Amino acid sequence: MMPLTNPLLLVVILINFFTLGSARLVACIRIVAFQGALLAMLPLTTHGITGHAVLLAIGAFSFKGVLIPWLLIRAIREVRIRREVEPLIGFVPTLILGALTTAGAFLFSDFLPLVAEHHGGLYVPTALATMFAGFLLLITRRKAITQVLGYLMLENGIFIIGVLLSEAMPLMVEAGVLLDLLVGIFVMGIVMNQINREFTSIGTQRLSDLKE
C-alpha cells in the first residue's frame, strides 16, 4: 500500500494551490472536501488494513469528505452568495506566496530532527504546506466562508501529522476530535447565516465596529 502514499500527498499539495488560486466558491468547497476525502485514505496507505486505520478512514471520510462540505454548501445556498471569493490581495500574489511557503516547507522539514523512517518522506512537508495554505486563506480572504475553508485546511494539515502518530490518538479521541470539528463548522454555519441577515453580506470586513 505504501507506494500510493506519495501520489496521494502530491495531489493534496496540488489542491492547496487550486484553492489558493480559485475564484469560485462552490469549487473551493468541493475541492477542500476532496482533499479531506483523500486524506481519509492516508491511514490505510500508511498503516495498511488494520481495524484502527479502517475506522479512522471511514470516520474521516464521512466527516471531512461528506458531512462538512454538505453543511457548507447548504450554508452558502441559504445565504445565497452571489459574488464569488473576494481576496484582500490578488490571486497571483497569493499563489506566489503559496509556492514560497510550500518550497519553504520542503526545505524546513529537511532540517527537522525527524525519526529515520520519516526522513525524506512527503508527510511532514505536505502537512506544513497544507497548514500554511490554510493560514494564507484565513488571512487573505474576506468572506467568512473562505475563512472557514482556511480553518478546514489547517485541520487537514494537522491530520496528516496525526496519521503518523496514530498510536498516540486512540479511536475515542479521534472520534471526539472529528465530532468537535463537525459541530464547530455547524455553529460557524449558523453564525454565517446571522452575519448575512444582519449585514446583507458575509464579508468579514464589515465586522469592524469592535475596536478601541
Partner 1 sequence: MLELLILSPLAAAALSLVFPWYQLRSWLLPLSSGLHLALSIVLVSGSFPAGGAWVGLDALSRLVLVVTSLLFFGCAIYAVGYLDLRRDRGNKVMVPCLLAFLSFMTLAIAARHLGLLWMAVEATTICSAPLIYFNRNRLSIEATWKYLLLCSVGIALAMLGMLFIAYAALGGGAPVSLQFDSLLATATSLSKPWLHAGFVFLLVGFGTKMGLAPLHTWKPDAYGEAPGLVGALLAGGLTSVAFLGILRGVQLMTAAGDGAMARQSLLWMGILSLLLAAVFMVRQPDIKRLLAYSSVEHMGLLAIGVGIGGLATFGAMLHLINNALTKGGLFLAAGNIQRAYSSKRLSEVRGAIVGLPISGTLFLAGFLAITGSPPFGPFLSEFTILRGIFANHQMVVGVLVLLSLATVFIGMGATVLAATQGESGPKNDNFRDRPLLYLPPLMFMLLILLLGVYIPEPLQKALSQAAALLEVHP
Bridge partners, residue 87, by sequence: 141
Tell me the window of 2-10, 68-76, 91-99, 203-211 that interacts with partner 1 (CB under 8 A).
Answer: 203-211
Q: Which of 62, 95, 191, 203 binds partner 1 (CB under 8 A)?
A: 191
> What minimum distance in Å lies between the beta carbon of 160 and partner 1?
10
Tell me the window of 29-37, 49-57, 74-82, 183-191 that interacts with partner 1 (CB under 8 A).
Answer: 183-191
CA angle 109, 113, 129 (to 5 degrees): 20
Binding of partner 1 by 76 (CB under 8 A): no
Instruction: Yes or no: say if 152 and 186 are a contact pair by the CB < 8 Å rule.
Output: no
Binding of partner 1 by 171 (CB under 8 A): no
Which of 3/63 has CB closer to partner 1?
Answer: 63
Binding of partner 1 by 205 (CB under 8 A): no
Rounded Cα–Cα distance for residues 10 and 123 (Å): 10
Rounded Cα–Cα distance for residues 53 and 166 (Å): 8
> What minimum distance in Å lies between the beta carbon of 162 and partner 1?
6
Rounded Cα–Cα distance for residues 108 and 141 (Å): 26
Which of 3/113 has CB closer to partner 1?
Answer: 113
Binding of partner 1 by 188 (CB under 8 A): yes
Rounded Cα–Cα distance for residues 39 and 187 (Å): 24
Binding of partner 1 by 138 (CB under 8 A): yes
Binding of partner 1 by 27 (CB under 8 A): no
Q: What is the binding site for partner 1 (CB under 8 A)?
A: 113-115, 131, 138, 144, 147-148, 151, 154-155, 158, 161-162, 164-165, 167-170, 172-174, 176-177, 180, 183-184, 187-188, 191, 194-195, 198-199, 204, 207-210, 212
